[in-house]
Structure formats: C-alpha cells, structure tokens
Amino acid sequence: MPTFTIDYSTEAERLELERAVGYLAEMRQLGSTAAHGTVLDACEKLALSAGRRLLRDNLKATVQARADAQKKRRGTV
C-alpha cells in the first residue's frame, strides 16, 4: 500500500492532520458502501455533521496555536 509523509510542527498540528485523514477515510468508506442511489445524500450528511465538527475543531486549534505563540514570544509560557 502506498504511503506518504506529512511534516508537522506541534503535537496539536499532528492531531489535526490525523483527524482530517480520518474524516477523508470515513467519507470514502461511506461512499463505497452506501446503498445504490443514496451515496450523495449519505456523504452530504457526513459532510454536514463530521465535516462541520472537523472545521470547528480546526478553527479552535488555530486560534489556540496563535495564542500559544503570542504567549511564547512574550515569555509567559
């Protein structure tokens, strides 16, 4: 099976990337197993629930990373 490498800077970034890969894997699995005629609806439902959660978590992590970087620059870690 082919593999690829992703570079990341922090543990939080690694977790975000793993979540994104998991979401994509779940979408592909759903797309290949949904009943005939229901693939689009099933994938859309996943995108609206798990996709929204993924984006929300990513936004929170991005804001937290920014706050952490500012604290570090100020020397208040």
Helices (H), 1-77: 11-33, 39-46, 52-74
Which pairs from 26-35 meet CB under 8 Å and 24+ separation? 26/50
Report pLDDT for 2.
92
At 70 the pLDDT is 92
pLDDT digits (tens, 9 = 90+) for 19-75: 999 999 999 999 999 999 999 999 999 999 999 999 999 999 999 989 988 998 988
The pLDDT of residue 77? 55
Q: What's the pLDDT score for residue 35? A: 97
State both tokens at 72.
């570090």
- Residue 75: the pLDDT is 83
Closest CA to 26 of 4, 5, 45, 7: 45
